[in-house]
Chain A
Amino acid sequence: AQRVTQPEKLLSVFKGAPVELKCNYSYSGSPELFWYVQYSRQRLQLLLRHISRESIKGFTADLNKGETSFHLKKPFAQEEDSAMYYCASMGAQKLVFGQGTRLTINP
């Protein structure tokens, strides 16, 4: 079964500290992987996708097929990064999300 797991419901770090949001996936094939973000009072939106290998707002995510992980990282957190983050996988047109991690950046 296609599944995405985010083990941390809440994560709190200080401004300027490194951030890592964990994501593990399970799928029999090779899914496409994404991170979505929801800022306060805004719609859920795409942050980055594995196939683009991009860095958005200082965030990067590396796919580790051996560990079936797609953790999201940022070396120096900023207060505006506070939001709800969802990891997602797309396999055979089915888009599945994890439980989400609420990231809070403390000043």
Chain B
Amino acid sequence: DAMVIQNPRYQVTQFGKPVTLSCSQTLNHNVMYWYQQKSSQAPKLLFHYYDKDFNNEADTPDNFQSRRPNTSFCFLDIRSPGLGDAAMYLCATSRGGADGYTFGSGTRLTVV
């Protein structure tokens, strides 16, 4: 089945140690989104790609970076995770415009 896959499902990282979360899709969608969702809060958009066109939200910390090497894969890099970066990270895809969204199952990040 076509889907959006996030790996790993759970990630534990040390304070200050770089970590990478991955998202892959078999839908061939143009747009890929990364959301951060802290406990009991709404998902917050960090950035998104339309093909290779990168769009950063104004309030996304510099500590967060993203790469999209091809249509299928998108990575979220956290250069120096702090305790406040512990959250669920959701990847979603869309064809853009008025199309719907497909979400991955998320990666729950713990910072120790």
A binds B: no
Query: Which B residues lie at the A interface, using CB under 8 A?
Result: none
